Structure 1
Amino acid sequence: MEHNDVLVERTGQLGHLVLNRPAAMNALNHGMVVAIAAALDEWENDPAVSTVLISGAGERGLCAGGDIVSIYHDARSGGDSSETFWRHEYHLNARIKRYPKPIVTLMDGVVLGGGVGISAHASHRIVTERSRIGMPETGIGFVPDVGGTWLLAHTPGELGVHAALTGAMFSGADAIAMGLASHYVDSAVLPTLVAELAQREASAVVGRYGQVPPESALARARWWIDEAYAPDDAGTILERLASMGDPAASAAAETIAGKSPTAVAVTLAALRRARLAGSLEEALNQEFRVSLRALRWPDFAEGIRAQLVDKDRNPAWQPATLSEVDNAVVEGTFADLGALELGLSAPLDTAPEKTAKGS
C-alpha cells in the first residue's frame, strides 16, 4: 500500500485496519479503499479472524472524509478518477453493511463524510465523548453520499434532514439518538476494549464497556426540527425555520442559506427518495448517479476552492438562491446512468430494509 496509508494488523482473533494518514485526518484515497476491501476479502474466509476493527491513527479522529482536494483537481481535468474512486468506495460501504463477521468501528474524534461511510454501516459502531460527526457536503456544493442519504433518511423524525442540510457536526450522543452509532464508550477505555477484542466475542466486549449516553441535544430539539423540516421544498423549510422563534432554528436557517442552493435542493430530494428505498444498495445506486452529475456542477469545484483550496470561505454559488434552482436540474440529477450505473443489489436472503419513519 502506498505510504502505508492503511495498516493491516492481526492480533489474536482480531483483524485490525488502521487508517494511517494522521496529517490529513485520515482522509480516504482510492488506495485506502482498495486496501480495506482486500483485507475484508481475505479475512472473510479466515477462521482465525473472528472480528474486524477499523480505527484511525493520531489524536484527531477516525476519518475526515474523502480526499476532496484530489477530487477537485480530478473534476477540473475530466473526473475519470473520481468515478472509479466512488464506484469502489460505494461497493465497500455496502460490503461493510453485509459483512458476515462483526465489524467494530471506533467513531472517536472527527468522523465526516466518507468516514461515516466506513463506520456507520458496521455492526458495532462506537462513539465517545470526543466524537464529532457530520455530513458537510452541502457546504462544498455536493450531496451526502457513502450511504449517508440512507442513514439520514431513517433517523427519527427529521433529524437527518437537519443534519444533512446544515452540514453541522453532531455529538456521539446525537449519533446514538439518530441510529448512526450503537454504543457510547468513554474514550479512556478504548485501548483496553481493543485489547479484549483480540480474545473475546465482539458483542460481549463492546457491551461490557457501553454506557448510557448523555442526553442528545438534537433529540431535545425535535419539537422545532420535525415541524420545520417536514416540507419537501427547501425554500419552505427556510421560511419555517426563520419563523419558529427559536434561536437555534434561526441559526439553522442562516446556515442553510449559506450553502450551495443546488446542493441543498438535491440533498432534500435525495433524502426523500432514500426514505422510500428498499435497501442501502438502492440508496447507494442513487447516490452514484447524483455524485457523477454533481461532479460537473460549477458549485462543486467552487465550493472546494472556497473551503479547501483558496480558503476564502466565500463561494460564488450558481445559482445564488434556492428560488433560482431549476427543478428540471434537480430531477435530472437522479436519471439513470445507463452503462455507467453502479449496479448494486441487496442479497436475496436479506430481509427488506425499508423501515418506518421514526416517530
Structure 2
Amino acid sequence: MTTNTVENQDVLTEVRGQVGFITLNRAKALNALSLDMVRSLTAILLQWQADAQVKAVAIRGSNKTGPFGGFCAGGDIRFFHQAALAGNPALEDFFTEEYALNHLIHNYPKPYIAFMDGIVMGGGMGISQGASHRLVTGQTKMAMPETNIGLFPDVGGGYFLSRCPGRSGEWLALTGDVIDGTTAVELGLADHMVDATRLPEGWEALAARNWADKASLDAWIATISVAAHATSTGARGQIDQYFALDTVSAIVQALEADSSDWAQHTAATLRKRSPLMLHVVLEQVRRARSMTLADDLRMERDMVRHCFHTAHLQRSGATSETVEGIRALAVDKDHHPQWNPARIEEVTPDMVAPFFASPWPAHAHPLQKLI
C-alpha cells in the first residue's frame, strides 16, 4: 500500500511494506532545506515513530532528472539572507526547529537509512549524520563549508566533526574541504560504500524486507555494497600535526611554512575563509568534543543567534559576517566577501568568547527540552 502522508511538494513521503520513504524533491535548489521542509520532515518522523506498522525510514534526495544524484546541499541560505535583512522572525524559528529535527534523527528509535548520494553538505549532514545507516557512493561530495559564508558547521557539526579521528574534524570544520564517499567512511562520517547504479534497486527492495529478521537489513546492504577505493586522505599525518595547534594563527602560519602542495593549498583555503569564524569554529569543535549532542546543539543555537546579531561587535543584518558571506557567495556572487576583521591575525579572544555566551537563561533556551 502506498500512502502519502505529508502535503509538501518538496518532501515526498509514502509508506510501502513496513518502510516510510522520504524523497527530498527540491532539486532546482539542490534540495536546500526550507522551514516548511524542516517542519514536514519533523511531522512525518514523529508520525512514523508512533506508528507500529512502520519499522524503518529511508531518505534520499533527487536531481533535476529524477531520484538520487543529489542528497541535500544544506539550509536555504538565500532565505537566511532575506530574512536577516527583513528582520523576519522565521529565521529564528528555522534554526530552532532544524536543530530539534537533527536531535530527533540522532535519537530515532527505528532504523533510519540515509542514501547520501551526490552533494551532502551543511543541513544535509544534519539530516543524515544521525542515521543508523549512512550510505555513500562514488558520487558523494560531502562537506561542512560554512566558514566560506561567515557561519560555522552547525546542525550538530561540532558534535559529529569533533568525533572524527585525530584532528580531521578541525580540518573539515575550518577549511570546508569536500571529501568523497571513501574518505567519509574512513573518517566515521558514513557507514557503507554502495554502488550508485544499484540505488534504485536497493531503494525498492527495502519495501520487501522482513523487518522481524534483524540480519535482513545487513543482508540488504551487502547486496548493494562495493569495496572502497584507495584512501584519499594521504595527508592525515599533516592534518593531525597542524590542526592540533592551539590557535588558528598558529595553524595557518605552520602550514605556510611547509612547502608541500597540500600545506600550501590548505593555507590558501584558510586565508579565504572568514577570519572571525575560523577562530569561533576552532573553539566550537574543541568544546563540542566533550559535550553531549543536546548540549552541542544548544551551544550552536546560541552561536547562530550571535552570527546574525553580533551585539558585542555592534553588527547585525547586512553588517553581520554571515549576511556578508552569503551575499558574496549566493546573492551578488562576486566571491569577494568583505570579512571583518580582514585577517586571521587581527581576531582577538574578546571577539570570539561572546559567541559562546547564551542569549537566554537556561530555563528559556529554545532547545532547553532536548536531552
Mark yes or no: TM-score above 0.5.
Answer: yes
Q: Which runs of 5+ in 1 are unaligned?
A: 347-359
- 1:176 touches 1:183 (CA, 8 Å); kept in 2? yes
- 1:19 touches 1:26 (CA, 8 Å); kept in 2? yes
TM value normalised by structure 2: 0.90
Match of 1:315 in 2: 337
Aligned length: 344
2:218 counterpart of 1:203: yes
* Aligned counterpart for 2:26 among listed residues 21, 41, 59: 21
**1:2, distance to aligned residue in structure 2 (A):** 6.8
Match of 1:43 in 2: 48
Counterparts of 1:77-226 in structure 2, within 5 Å, are 77-78=86-87, 80-200=89-209, 201=211, 202-218=217-233, 220-226=234-240
**1:325, distance to aligned residue in structure 2 (A):** 1.3
SS of equivalent residue, structure 1 residue 175: helix
- 2:103 touches 2:370 (CA, 8 Å); kept in 1? no
Match of 2:214 in 1: none
**1:213, distance to aligned residue in structure 2 (A):** 1.5
- 1:51 touches 1:197 (CA, 8 Å); kept in 2? no
Deviations, residues 169-228 of structure 1 (Å, cap 9, x unaligned): 11011110111111100101111111111121433312432233122312x211111001
Task: Write the letter of the residue equivalent to 1:329.
Answer: M
Deviations, residues 235-287 of structure 1 (Å, cap 9, x unaligned): 0000111123320111010001111101111000000000111x211111111
Deviations, residues 36-70 of structure 1 (Å, cap 9, x unaligned): 11111111122221110111122541001000000
* Aligned counterpart for 2:300 among listed residues 287, 295, 307: 287
- 1:305 touches 1:311 (CA, 8 Å); kept in 2? yes
- 1:71 touches 1:79 (CA, 8 Å); kept in 2? no
SS of equivalent residue, structure 2 residue 289: helix
CA RMSD of aligned residues (A): 1.4
2:321 counterpart of 1:306: no
- 2:14 touches 2:20 (CA, 8 Å); kept in 1? yes
SS of equivalent residue, structure 2 residue 255: helix
Task: Write the letter of the residue equivalent to 1:285.
Answer: R
TM value normalised by structure 1: 0.93
SS of equivalent residue, structure 2 residue 12: strand
Task: Write the letter of the residue equivalent to 2:258.
Answer: M
Q: Which moved more, 1:284-293 or 1:70-79?
A: 70-79
**1:341, distance to aligned residue in structure 2 (A):** 4.3
* Aligned counterpart for 2:78 among listed residues 65, 69, 74: 69
**1:4, distance to aligned residue in structure 2 (A):** 0.8
Aligned counterparts of 1:225 and 1:154: Cα–Cα separation in 2: 15
- 1:20 touches 1:26 (CA, 8 Å); kept in 2? yes
Question: 1:40/1:49 Cα in 2 relative to 1: closer, same or farther (>3 Å)?
Answer: same
Question: 1:295/1:207 Cα in 2 relative to 1: closer, same or farther (>3 Å)?
Answer: farther
**1:320, distance to aligned residue in structure 2 (A):** 0.3
The runs of at least 4 aligned residues of structure 1 exceeding 4 Å deviation read none
**1:290, distance to aligned residue in structure 2 (A):** 0.6
